[in-house]
A and B are shown apart, each in its own frame.
Chain A
Amino acid sequence: MASLIQCPHCGARPKEEFSIKGSAEAERPAPDAAEDAWFEYVYQRDNPIGRIEEYWQHTSGCRRWLVVERDSGVHTVYRVLDATAARSSE
C-alpha cells in the first residue's frame, strides 16, 4: 500500500490517518434483489492482481469515505475520489 493517500479534501496525508473497509467493486444490491446478488456482495471477491477499488475513510481527517483506486500488485494509488461523488457519477 502506498505510504501516502491523496485525500480529495485534505491533500496528501499519511496512510495511517485513514482506515480501510474493503473492496468497493460491488454496489449494495437493491433490498429485494436475488439472494445470490446479496451473497456476492457480502462474501465474494474478485481479488485481482492489479487495479482495484477500495473504500477508505479519512478517519483522522475530514471523516469522508473515499474510493481509492490503486494497484494491489505494486501499491501505486491511481485515483482517490470522494465516495459520494464517485457513486453518484456512475
Chain B
Amino acid sequence: MTSQRLKSGGLIDRNLPIAFMFDGKPYQGFAGDTLASALMANGVGLVGRSFKYHRPRGIMTAGSSEPNALVTVGEDGRTEPNCRATTVELYDGLVARSQNRWPSLGFDVGEVNALLSPFLGAGFYYKTFMWPAALWEKFYEPMIRRAAGLGRASYEPDPDHYEKCWAHCDLLVVGAGPAGLAAAMTAAQAGARVIIADEQSGPGGSLLSDRREIGGAPAPTFAAKISAELASMANVTVLSRTTVFGWYDDRVFGAVERVQKHVSVPAADKPVERLWRIVAKQCVLASGAEERPLVFGGNDRPGVMMADAARTYVNRYGVAAGSRVAVFTNNSSAYCAARDMEANGIDVAAIIDPRAETPDYDGQARVMANARVVGTRGWRGLTGITVQRGGEQETIPVDALLMSGGWNPIVSLACQRGAKPRWSDDHVAFLPPAPSDGMRTAGAAAGIASLGNCVQHGASIAVECLSKIGIAAKPFDAGPAEDEPAFSVTPLWHVAGSTGKAFVDFQNDVHTDDLGLAVREGYGHVEHTKRYTTTGMATDQGKLSNVNAIGILAEVRGTTPGDIGTTTYRPFYTPVSFGALAGAHRGRHFQPVRRSPLHMWAEKHGAEFVEVGHWYRSAWFPRSGETRWRQSVDREVLAVRRNVGICDVSTLGKIEIVGRDAAEFLNRIYCNGVAKLPVGKARYGLMLREDGFIYDDGTLSRLAENRYFMTTTTALAAGVLSHMEFCAQVLWPDLDVRFTSVSDQWAQIAIAGPRSRDLLKQIVDDDISNDAFPFLAAGTINLMGGQLSARLFRISYSGELAYELAVPASYGEAVANALMAIGEPMGVTPYGTEAMGVMRIEKGHVTHAEINGTVVPEDIGMGRMVSVKKPDFIGRRMLNREGLSGADRLKLVGLKPVDPSDDFSTGAHILNPGAAPSMAADQGHVTSTCFSPVLGHHIGLALIKRGPERIGEQVVVWDALKEQDIKAIIADPAFVDPAGERLHA
C-alpha cells in the first residue's frame, strides 16, 4: 500500500494527525479528513463488498450518494452499521469495519456468487425454491437471510441521547454551496430570518472542492468568508452537518443535525443528534447536482470513481485517486477534473470521450474522441482499461478511472410532495418541478451549470422568494467568477459491447442485463423494474443509479427518459437514525408519567404501583410477611368488607359543569334521565356513543341548581370532556353550559366499609348520619373544624357503606394522613386497585372490561335505565337497530366454578356442556375474574349469549391457552349483598 497523500494542498490540517482503525489495522489521517479520504490516503482501495455478488468495491464518491464504501463505525452501543465512509468525519480513535464479507474483506467466500451469476439474474428467487414447499422455511430462506443484509447492528443499548426542536424562519436555504450561500446572503442582508443547512462539516458545498477563483479569492476562501459573515448575523442560523431529509405539508421541513457524530467521546451535556422541525415561509432548494456514473463493463472495479469525487479528493483532501489515471466522460465537466489532477502532478493518461467533438483541453492528457471504455482490468483494484475507438481496441494501464455521465440536479425534496421532475433533452437530466408552495430551486439543483451562474441564480431566486412574503431584497453580488467553458453533454446510457458486467445500481448489483430481462418479462414500467430488479432500492436510494436505469429502459423500450418517468421521491433524502427521530421519548421517558396527588402517601404505605394509561396507580399495599400479591389483596378486601379501608381514586376523570341549561344538556348526554336529579344528590350515569353502544359510565352530582360535578372512568377522562365540548359547541350551541376539567384539582379518596362513617365523622364537621347524609347524598362539607372545605359523595363501588371524599389536590396527602392516623385504632386499611377490582366483581359492577365498545345497556342489565321519555339523547336512535337488541346478544352474568377449588381466567370462552369447540358453539367469554375472599372461591363476570335467562345453568369455561376446561354455573352478577342493603346502612 502506497500513500496517495499529496505533499501539500487541501483543506486538511496536517499538524493534527488522527489515528484510526479499519478492519483491525491502525492508520493515520488528518483533521479535516473523511474516513474515505483517509483510507485513500493510506492506499486502501478495497473497502467493501457488494450485496449480491460480493464483488470487491472501493470508494466511488465523496459524499452522501456513496453506494459502495459502506462500513460499520463504532463499538458496543455506539455500533453504527452502513455508514458511508465518504461522509464519516475522521476522529481520534475511530474504529471502522468492513461489511458483508466472510471470512475477510480480501478473501470473501461470497465471491462464488459472481460465478453463479447467470443463474442469479433479476428476480431469480421468484422462480425457484418452491419445491419441496417445506424446504423454503427450513433451508432456502435461512440461507438467503444469512447471505442478505449489509452491516450487523448491535443489540446493546445506545448510551447517547438525542433531542428535538422547532425553528421558524422567513427563508430556509437547503445547501450551502455557491447558490445556497448567495441565496442566504441575499436574504440575510435584507433582514429576513434565515436558516441555511448543509449536510457537510461546514458550509461551502462544491466550493470546497474547487480551485477556481470567485470574488477575487480561491473558492474555498470565498466560502469561508461568506459563511463567517452569515454566522455573525443575528438573523441567520447556519446549520452544518445538517441534512434536510423531508419536506412535509405546508412548509414544514424535517432536518437532522449530527451534533456529535464526529467526536471521539460525545459530551454528555449535548445530544449526538438533533431533529429540527423547521417551519419556513419560503424555501430555496440549493442542493446541487449529482454526477452520473457511466455504465460499461467492469465499471465497479475499485479505482473507478466519479470524476468530481476525484476532484474533491485532490483539491479538498490532498489525496490522489491514483498515480496514473484516465478520464471517461460524455460531458465537459470532467475535463476540469483532468485539469485539476494534472495541476496536482497526477499523470492523466487519457481522456476518453464518446463524442466526435470534444471540448478544448490545454493539459498533457491525450484526448480520445469517438472512444469508449469497454472493459476494465484488475480484481481488487484497477490495473488498466480497454478503450475502443473505431474498430480498434487499446489497453491503457491506469490505477484509477474517473468517470462522468452527466449531472442530475438533486430534486428529491422538491418532489416529495407529489410533484414530478421534468425531463430536459438539453440538460440530459430531470429538472425540478415548477415552484410550488414556497419551494424554489436554485443553482445546480435547477440545472444551472457554471459557478458564476449558480451564485447569481441563488441570489435572484432568493429575491423572488422574499418578494412573495413582502420582503424587498437586492441580489447579493459575489463579484466575478473565473470563466469556464460552456457545459456540453451527449447522452450515453450504456456502452454497448463492453465486456463484463456493466453495473447500474452498484450496491444492489443490478446490471444492464437485469434491466433488459425485466423489460423482456413484462416488468418494463419503471416501478415494476425497480421492484423486480431492486435497482434504486439500496441505501443510496438510487442517487447514482436511477436516471441511468431510466435512460436504459428508455432505450430498450424505444422511448424517451421523460416518457419512462421517475419513481416516486420520498423521505428520507439520506437515511436518518431511529434515535434522532425518537429524540428523548425513549426508555422511561417514552410517555409522560402522571402521579396522583396521593402518590407519595401510597408510596409511604409501601404500595406496589401499576401502569394505568399514563398514571401509576397503587395496586396493593403489601405488609411484612406477605409474599404473594393475593395475600395482600385478600386482606385488604376483608378489611373493607368487615371494617374500613381507604383507597386513592383521584385518577377518575372529574368535570365541573355549570350553566343555565346544564340540566338539559346533561339529560341529552346520558341515556338515563338526570334532569330531575335534586341538588345535593348523586346518580350513576351511562353515556352512549351516537351509534348506540355504551361509551362511558360514572357519577353525576348536583352541587347547586346550575352546577354539577361529573366523574368519568380514568381511561376516558379526556375523551368525555372533548365529547361534551363537541355536543355543546357543535350540536347544541343554543344551550348555556360550560365545562372545566378538574381532574387535577381534586384528590379523591374512597372510604369504604361498615365503619367508614365512624371514621369519617371524626374529621367531618357536618352531620353525616344516615338520615342527614343518606346513600347518594352529595355536597360540600367542612373538615377538621373548618380548616378545609371539601366535597363528600356517598357513593359505593365496593358495595359497602362508602363515601368518596374530594379535597383540593394539594391537601390530599394531609387528609389521607389524617384519616390513617385517626383510623389507626380502628384498623383502617389502605387498599389498592386490585382489592377494588375484587370488590366490584363481587358486586357485579362493570368496567371497560365489560363495556368494551360493543355492549349496549341491555347487555349489562341496564336496559331499563335507558329513558323512553326523553325526546333526544346521544345514541338514542341507533340503539333501536335490530342487531343491537337481538336475542342472541352476549349479556352480563356471574360465573362460579362447580368445584370451589377450581380457578378460571379472564379471556376464557364459554361452551355448553359436551359441545365441541367451534366459533358457532361459542357461548361467550369471561370478562373479569378474581378470588373472592368473602366467598372463599373464584368468581367471574362473563358476557354470555342470553345469559340472564340461563342463571343456574352449568357451562364449560374453556381455556385452550391454558389447556383447561372448568365446569361452572351461570349466576347473578351480584355475588355479595345483591339486595344492596349495605349501601344504605
Residues of A within 8 A of B (CB): 1-4, 14, 19, 21, 28-29, 31-32, 35, 38-39, 41-43, 55, 57, 59, 63-65, 74-75, 82-84, 87-88
Contact = CB atoms under 8 A, between A and B. Distances in A.
B418 A74 contact: yes
Contacts of A21: 726
Nearest to A82: B729
Contacts of A65: 725-726, 729-730
Given A42-B690, A55-B730, A87-B733, A19 B250 contact: no
Nearest to A77: B250
B249 A28 contact: no
Interface stretch (B185-193, B324-332, B794-802, B870-878): B870-878
Nearest to A1: B249
B250 A2 contact: yes
Given A32-B871, A63-B725, A82-B729, 10 more contacts: A3-B249, A3-B250, A4-B250, A35-B880, A38-B877, A42-B690, A74-B418, A75-B249, A83-B729, A88-B733
Q: How large is the interface on B (under 10, 10 to 19, 20 to 34, 35 or more residues)?
A: 20 to 34
A44 to B, nearest CB: 13
A42 B691 contact: yes
Given A65-B729, A83-B729, A88-B733, A31 B878 contact: no
Closest 8 CB pairs of A and B: A3-B252, A31-B872, A84-B733, A38-B877, A65-B729, A3-B250, A75-B249, A83-B730
A57 B725 contact: yes
A31 B248 CA distance: 43
A47 B50 CA distance: 47
A90 B878 CA distance: 26
Contact of B877 (A3, A31, A63, A82): A31
A2 B250 CA distance: 6
Given A4-B279, A65-B730, A38 B878 contact: yes
A55 B726 contact: yes
A42 B878 contact: yes
Could you say which of B722, B730, B733, B871 has the most chain A C-beta atoms within 10 Å of its C-beta? B730
Nearest to A21: B726
Contacts of B871: 31-32
A84 B248 contact: no
Contacts of A83: 729-730
B731 A28 contact: yes
B730 A84 contact: yes
A31 to B, nearest CB: 4
B729 A84 contact: yes
Interface string B703-738: 000000000000000100010011001110100000
A41 B874 CA distance: 13
A75 B252 CA distance: 13
A74 B691 CA distance: 31
Nearest to A86: B730
Nearest to A59: B722
A4 B249 CA distance: 8
Residue of B248, B690, B729 ringed by the most chain A CB atoms within 10 A: B729
A28 to B, nearest CB: 5
Contact of B876 (A4, A14, A19, A31): A31
Contact of A57 (B250, B722, B876, B877): B722
Interface of B: 166, 248-250, 252, 279, 418, 690-691, 718, 722, 725-726, 729-731, 733, 871-872, 876-878, 880
B729 A19 contact: no
Contacts of B872: 31
A14 B250 CA distance: 11
19 contacts: A1-B249, A3-B279, A14-B166, A19-B722, A21-B726, A28-B731, A32-B871, A38-B878, A39-B878, A42-B691, A57-B722, A59-B718, A63-B725, A65-B725, A65-B729, A83-B729, A83-B730, A84-B729, A84-B730
Contacts of A63: 725
B281 to A, nearest CB: 11
B881 to A, nearest CB: 8
Contacts of B878: 38-39, 42
A61 B247 CA distance: 26
Contacts of A59: 718, 722
Nearest to B730: A83
Nearest to A4: B250
Contacts of B690: 41-42
A37 B722 CA distance: 25
Contacts of A88: 733
Contacts of B722: 19, 57, 59
Contacts of A35: 877, 880
Contacts of A31: 871-872, 876-877
A27 to B, nearest CB: 9
A32 to B, nearest CB: 8
Nearest to A29: B877
Contacts of B249: 1-3, 75
A31 B668 CA distance: 11
Contacts of B729: 64-65, 82-84
A24 to B, nearest CB: 8
B159 to A, nearest CB: 29
Nearest to B723: A21
Nearest to A73: B418
Nearest to B871: A31
B499 to A, nearest CB: 50
Contacts of A32: 871
A65 B731 CA distance: 11
A87 B730 contact: yes
A14 B906 CA distance: 42
Contacts of A29: 877
Contacts of B726: 21, 55, 57, 65
A80 to B, nearest CB: 13
A28 B166 CA distance: 39
Nearest to A85: B733
B725 A4 contact: no
Contacts of B248: 3
Nearest to A83: B730
B420 to A, nearest CB: 14
Contacts of A3: 248-250, 252, 279
Contacts of B733: 84, 87-88
A81 B876 CA distance: 29
A18 to B, nearest CB: 11
A83 B718 CA distance: 20
A65 B729 CA distance: 7
A52 B476 CA distance: 44
A84 B730 CA distance: 5
A38 B718 CA distance: 26
B937 to A, nearest CB: 44
Contacts of B731: 28
B302 to A, nearest CB: 44
B933 to A, nearest CB: 43
Nearest to A63: B725
A75 to B, nearest CB: 5
B188 to A, nearest CB: 24
Contacts of B279: 3-4
A11 to B, nearest CB: 12
Contacts of A4: 250, 252, 279
A81 to B, nearest CB: 11
Nearest to A31: B872
B253 to A, nearest CB: 10
Contacts of B730: 55, 65, 83-84, 87
A14 B691 CA distance: 31
A59 B741 CA distance: 12
A74 B871 CA distance: 42
Contacts of A28: 731
A68 to B, nearest CB: 13
A20 to B, nearest CB: 11
Contacts of A55: 726, 730
A19 B723 CA distance: 12
Nearest to B722: A57
A16 to B, nearest CB: 10
